Amino acid sequence: MNIVNYSKNMIRHRFPALTHDNFRIYWLGQCVSLIGTWMQSIGQTWLVFSLTGSPLLVGLLGAIQFLPITIFSLFAGVIIDKYPKRTILLITQFISMILAFTLSALVFTHVVRYEYVLILALILGFTNTIDMPTRQSFTIEMAGKKHIMNAIALNSASFNLARIIGPSIGALVMASFGAGWCFLFNGLSFMAVLVSLLKLEINSYVRVKISNDVLKEIKDGLKYIAGEPSLLQTILMVLIIGIFVFNFNVLLPVFSKIVLHQGEKVYGLLMSALGVGSLLGALMVSLNSKSGPKSKVLIGSSLMISIMLILISFTKIYYYSALLLVMTGIFNIWFSTTANTMLQITTKDEYRGRVMSVYSLVFAGATPIGNMFAGFTTDKFGADTSFLLSGVLTIFLIALLKLLFTIKLNGKKPAPS
């Protein structure tokens, strides 16, 4: 009995977001579904590289999958503010499940082609355009503003625990049975999150007054972000990281095969190492979430990410690469969790859908640019040089952005009398 009470007290003090029934049910469903998502991610990347042998075409796949987010995220924000978020998620998750089953069927029947994978990736991209910002906006409704940072950290923990388990299982499944089983397992895993959504007892925030002029609503949201320096600076930093850092799906398979001279298992190991670091980072943030987000953590973690990328570019032994990826994962989560929390806490309820759609735009929507950058530089100069360029450019742009905002804020201060 004492153990039970101790566990409850630990959850209450260390993971308070889990005391909210709705968030706990949804989170458990996500834990299952995300393992399948990562199995599909590693399987799809390896499948395309095996079909084409081209790093540039692997980069194009990522660009196509995230291109709809780049183009339509701002429109998605208006939809999210207008309709119940649980209903939206039920639709998007169901579509994603059907797409996973379709890809598995194409592989099992031996008719899969690069063009088919591109088409499915494009449809998934349209689905994620609405799904991603909806999930971000839904979190605060399930866990409350007081526990939002803890909830975001727990979401990151489940995401990155799946990043460890998913690629490991996926690599073994691919090596033993083929990539088709990765896609089949992903389709089945969506059932967990669909069931969890149906069990929720929640009334989503929906704006009562909303204009039918979509472009006016988008403009209003952008004007709101531009008028809040903390929001604008955070969004721009996420944009930089989104372009030059989150390209591991393009760089690591090529880095594993060409630079490290290894196969599927080492590729899975490196992806899992990134996940281990991200999980550790998420747990660190979760255990210290009461202190709230800090801008110095945002700046410091982004600079440390850059240094890790530069160091990776010089490694030729996969054990060292894996260790550096663990560190990269830690700083990645410190950055992304802090950025997400700062945006959600600062934003007014009536703007949350639109602000988080902009966050999704710069976080994931920048991926087509980043993937094409990574694919092009890897194709021309090699994966090691691409890591180096990504690290150097990130340091330079983050430092420049911080300098510009410091100058701007100092310029607004009244002169001493």
Confirm whether 158 is domain-assigned.
yes
> Structural domain of residue 64, as residue ranges?
7-200+213-412
Q: Specify whether the CB–CB gap between 282 and 153 falls below 8 A.
A: yes
pLDDT in tens, 335-385: 988 888 888 888 877 788 888 888 888 877 677 788 788 888 888 888 888
Total residue count of the chain as it appears in this document: 417
Structure tokens at 122: 């494009």
- The whole model's pTM is what? 0.72
Confirm whether 208 is domain-assigned.
no
pLDDT at 217: 84
pLDDT at 135: 87
Instruction: Give helix then strand counts, H and E, for the chain.
Output: 16, 0
Tell me which residue of 301, 259, 261, 274 sits closest to 386, measured CA to CA. Answer: 259
CATH number where 143 lies: 1.20.1250.20
Confirm whether 60 is domain-assigned.
yes
Indicate the number of domains in the chain.
1
Confirm whether 340 is domain-assigned.
yes
pLDDT at 304: 92
CB proximity list for 274: less than 8 A, separation 6 or greater: 163, 248, 325, 326, 328, 329, 332
The amino acid occupying position 390 is: S
Confirm whether 296 is domain-assigned.
yes
The amino acid occupying position 295 is: S
pLDDT in tens, 201-250: 877 666 666 667 778 888 888 888 888 888 888 899 989 988 888 777 77
Tell me which residue of 166, 128, 141 sits closest to 278, measured CA to CA. Answer: 166
H-helix or E-strand spanning residue 295: helix 295-312
H-helix or E-strand spanning residue 18: none
- Per-position pLDDT tens, the chain of length 417: 455 555 556 666 677 888 888 889 999 999 889 999 888 888 888 888 888 887 778 778 877 887 887 788 888 888 887 788 888 999 999 999 999 999 999 999 989 888 899 999 999 989 988 998 888 888 888 887 778 888 888 887 787 777 777 877 888 888 888 888 999 999 999 999 999 999 988 776 666 666 677 788 888 888 888 888 888 888 999 899 888 887 777 788 888 888 887 877 788 788 778 878 888 887 787 776 666 667 788 888 899 999 999 998 898 888 888 899 999 989 988 898 888 888 888 887 778 888 888 888 887 767 778 878 888 888 888 888 888 999 999 999 999 988 887 877 666 555 444
Confirm whether 2 is domain-assigned.
no
DSSP 8-class letter at 290? G
Tell me which residue of 290, 203, 283, 282 sits closest to 22, measured CA to CA. Answer: 203
Confirm whether 188 is domain-assigned.
yes
Confirm whether 1 is domain-assigned.
no
DSSP 8-class letter at 147? T
